Structure 1
């Protein structure tokens, strides 16, 4: 599903989009309400997530204008701080379907987003599939298949593999991988990430004869390469 995210803080929108992209969605982030509304005039989205205290316009005003351009079934989820009780009341009164308290937790955000989308688009409740050659990622159950066979991967291995496949040919820094997969775990030893990458490489058989190669990028991170065109 296509999700649009608005927050004044660029690092926050990037983080949310990383998480939702890893969960199988297409996500576009913006820092101003003006830019978001301009984008909504050009492209259709299935969901809006935004900070109620966005700087260049009020939350209720933004939501009203966005509703005019969003898919008619598109749910709205807004974010606020723990002290923003008035924002919560105002947002729900204005017609938002749900809210989240900052700082956001990855698992909770993904669960809330998936629940809202299932409710809004009941005919699309089946497993969302993303295919890359012989690999098929079913994002809702978190299942990974290779040549039709289910691979035994953990939750983190699944999202780590999906992150690489959604960024084929692009070097990913260790910091980027950490934020996308180990979102709220501040103390993740370097060896832990290397071990997970090694397991993904082995379990998915990412080797030249299968058309892919997962390689380290010296002093930076990792890159998944597609071989043979």
Structure 2
């Protein structure tokens, strides 16, 4: 999963990025409100940590912009040096999913990030098995059962398949997939992405008769579509 961090302080961005990365997620940070909009417009994130007092803007206006502009607005944690109940109420009424008052401990921030990402995922974060239509995924064995037939996937193939099912009917950019699965956006590695998607499509028989298909969005990325 991928987390975007927008704060006016570069030291705070670095601090939050470390927390997020220690949890095993991908983190992207920014301190400029104009660049923030550019990044959010072109990439996909599973969570946004947003500073109330971002430079040249404010968190509430950025949140309003996200609500109006982004096709699917990810959950948002608002952070600020404010603890008044009215400020917290204003942030939550603006659409924020959670509110953290600075300064806060690493453990508390990590717990709040995990809670929102788990809540935004399909199926519990620690469930051994998750079912998507005819597909039953076993996270311990890294296998998928389709109509009673078990298919064994490599670690990357399983991670890729699970990411698509969690984000079904959502277009994922190549950039997002490469960063989330391979922690890289290197051009040479895109051949690896295409090969893995081809294998996942074939091994899991992702065809309309099985309820899902992987659709290529040319020049952008891929989407797992519900076919029923």
Length-normalised TM-score, structure 2: 0.52
Q: Does residue 4 in structure 1 map to residue 8 in structure 2?
A: no
CA distance in 1, matches of 2:52, 2:99: 10
1:87-139 CA-partner distances (Å, limit 9, x unpaired):
3121111011101110121110111111111112233624799xxxxxxxxxx
Length-normalised TM-score, structure 1: 0.52
Aligned 8 A contact 2:83 2:101 in 1: no
User: Would you say how many aligned residue pairs link Structure 1 and Structure 2?
Assistant: 132
Task: Note closer, same or farther for the CA distance 1:70–1:123 as it changes in structure 2 (3 Å cut).
Answer: farther
Q: Does residue 91 in structure 1 map to residue 86 in structure 2?
A: no
Q: How much does 1:22 deviate?
A: 1.0
CA distance in 2, matches of 1:63, 1:47: 12
Which deviates more, 17-26 or 56-65?
A: 56-65
Q: How much does 1:84 deviate?
A: 4.6
CA distance in 2, matches of 1:55, 1:73: 21
Q: Which residue of 1 aligns with 2:52?
A: 52
- The DSSP-based 3-state class of the residue aligned with 1:29 is strand
Task: Note closer, same or farther for the CA distance 1:113–1:89 as it changes in structure 2 (3 Å cut).
Answer: same
CA distance in 2, matches of 1:73, 1:65: 10
1:57-105 CA-partner distances (Å, limit 9, x unpaired):
1322100112345573621101111445443121111011101110121
Q: Does residue 63 in structure 1 map to residue 68 in structure 2?
A: no
Q: How much does 1:50 deviate?
A: 1.0
Gaps (5+ residues) in structure 1? 130-165, 167-229
Q: Which residue of 1 aligns with 2:34?
A: 34
CA distance in 2, matches of 1:53, 1:86: 16
CA distance in 2, matches of 1:106, 1:116: 16
